[in-house]
């Protein structure tokens, strides 16, 4: 399998006033096309910083991050944003929907940055809203939708640019168990049937158990990698 994302000896340190906080301490990992990966670990272990590196939302103080074989440090912000927008879809715990936009317009939003015309944006957005079972809710505002429906809108939004990778940061954290299971089942289906690479940050060991690879972080270091298939 081809590597989609690779981190080589990545360090990240944040300055908080006069204090330096080391969030990552020499992380090296690679994620290949079609893998379903979970990142687990206690609070403060570096999971959020690691996911920001994997998603190319941040750059390391030391080490190299490769996206599709390209060193992101060698790309200007415009080129990086274009590549990131096409390669990676993001799903967040808090949904991150714009409250003043309908489901249709929220899902259409990422395509604006890929210079897709409005008619095509709406056509594609309707397709993905139908895929997640929300074809009858596309003109509703987020405040008119349940938590499970809002997360499905967020998933539809993450898919519209047909990314290779879905990066999911605690996607079931604000959902009840039934809706959480539905979201995980849908992600598993995308992985198995469409060969999407799924990377999920979770505190839920039951979710981690169904993934192909578990990455355990502690104190900014990768202390265990377990492959299950």
- C-alpha 228/C-alpha 180 separation (Å) is 22
Instruction: Spell out a b/e string for 142-174, using b for 16 or more CB atoms within 10 Å of the CB, else e.
Output: beebeebbbbbbbbbbbbbbebbbbbbbbbbeb
**pLDDT(226) > 90:** no
- Quote the domain boundaries for residue 89: 34-57+77-227
pTM: 0.88
Residue 69, beta-bridge partner list? none
Residue 63 lies in a domain: no
Number of Cβ within 10 Å of residue 96's Cβ equals: 13
- C-alpha 172/C-alpha 103 separation (Å) is 19
Residue 199 lies in a domain: yes
Residue 99 lies in a domain: yes
Quick: pLDDT tens for 121-143: 999 999 999 999 999 999 999 99
Residue 8 lies in a domain: no
Domain count, the chain: 1
**pLDDT(195) > 70:** yes
3-state secondary structure of 225: strand
- Grade residue 43 by pLDDT with cuts at 50, 70 and 90: confident
Residue 115 lies in a domain: yes
């Amino acid at each position: 399998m081809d590597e989609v994302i690779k981190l080589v000896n990545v360090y990240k340190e944040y300055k908080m006033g006069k204090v330096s906080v080391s969030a990552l301490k020499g992380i090296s990992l690679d994620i290949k096309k079609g893998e379903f990966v979970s990142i687990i670990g206690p609070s403060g272990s570096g999971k959020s910083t690691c996911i920001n590196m994997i998603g190319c939302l941040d750059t390391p103080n030391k080490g190299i991050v490769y996206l599709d074989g390209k060193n992101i440090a060698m790309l200007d912000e415009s080129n990086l944003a274009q590549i990131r927008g096409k390669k990676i879809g993001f799903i967040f715990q808090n949904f991150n929907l714009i409250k003043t936009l309908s489901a249709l317009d929220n899902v259409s939003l990422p395509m604006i940055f890929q210079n897709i015309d409005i008619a095509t944006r709406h056509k594609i957005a309707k397709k993905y809203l139908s895929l997640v079972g929300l074809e009858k809710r596309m003109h509703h505002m987020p405040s008119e939708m349940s938590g499970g429906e809002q997360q499905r809108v967020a998933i539809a939004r993450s898919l519209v640019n047909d990314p290779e990778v879905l990066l999911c940061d605690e996607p079931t954290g604000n959902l009840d168990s039934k809706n959480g299971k539905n979201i995980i089942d849908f992600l598993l289906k995308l992985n198995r049937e469409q060969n999407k690479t799924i990377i999920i940050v979770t505190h839920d060991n039951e979710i981690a158990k169904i993934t192909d690879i578990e990455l355990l972080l502690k104190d900014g270091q990768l202390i265990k990698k377990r492959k299950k298939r």
